[in-house]
Amino acid sequence: MAGVSRPLRVLLVDDDALVRAGLSMMLDGIHGICVVGEAADGDEVPAAADAHAPDVVLMDLRMPRVDGITATRGLRRRPHPPEVIVLTTFDTDENILYALRAGAGGFLLKDTPPAQIVDAVRRVAAGDPILSPRITRRLMDRAVIQAGAYERARAALAVLSPRENDVVLAVARGRTNAEIAAELYMSVTTVKAHVSNILSKLGLDNRTQIALLAHDAGLA
């Protein structure tokens, strides 16, 4: 989002009107952020995205007709997809992993302090994944890798160059582009190019999925 002067455009998706109203009041008071639309269910998301062209979507998980994971997957398949932050009360391991693998760039719980939600919107819009600390700890503590995941992840990473693998490891450790540039002695522009190449080679949608693949490969 560097160089973009317009406010970040945010779409709210939640079947609870009070939640949407609270988020709207909170975010619309923040400089550089504008709530451009709302949807009450996942089946309303495609039309809302077409109408409002959001940069970031705050997405509930459980909704009556179409759940947030399905809606997220649909958004991330669009030609110019918005970033998605799942905002939910349901923090089971399955929900977390399904949401991240669907392409969500963040996963927050609804009891997250407002300032952290605002920070998450800005960071995810800039390409940095964000997870609630409680979620991060649980993912780190996952001891059992699903059968075959380790081998598949290792095989996928084998197509990358050594330098690209260095970037993968740094991304998995939660480093920003600037931090990666400093650690690996390259420019931020070069880091961004490596990340783009990695996403293209591996068929992934975002940095969070890179981190998950590195985790499956036992690198993080």
The upper half-sphere exposure of residue 161, i.e. CA atoms within 13 Å in the direction of its Cβ, equals 7
For the stretch 12-29, pLDDT in tens is 999 999 999 999 999 988
- Residue ranges covered by each domain of the chain: 8-140, 149-216
Confidence of residue 86 (pLDDT cuts 50, 70, 90): very high
Distance CA 81, CA 74 (A): 9
Element (H, E) at 215: helix 207-216
For the stretch 63-79, pLDDT in tens is 999 999 999 999 999 98
For the stretch 108-156, pLDDT in tens is 999 899 999 999 999 999 888 888 877 776 666 654 555 577 888 889 9
Distance CA 220, CA 212 (A): 9
Query: Is the CATH code 3.40.50.2300 the one for domain 8-140?
Result: yes
For the stretch 151-205, pLDDT in tens is 888 899 999 999 999 999 999 888 899 999 999 999 999 999 999 999 999 999 8
Reference 58, options 4, 104, 7; nearest CA is 104
pLDDT of residue 191: 95
For 149-216, CATH gives 1.10.10.10
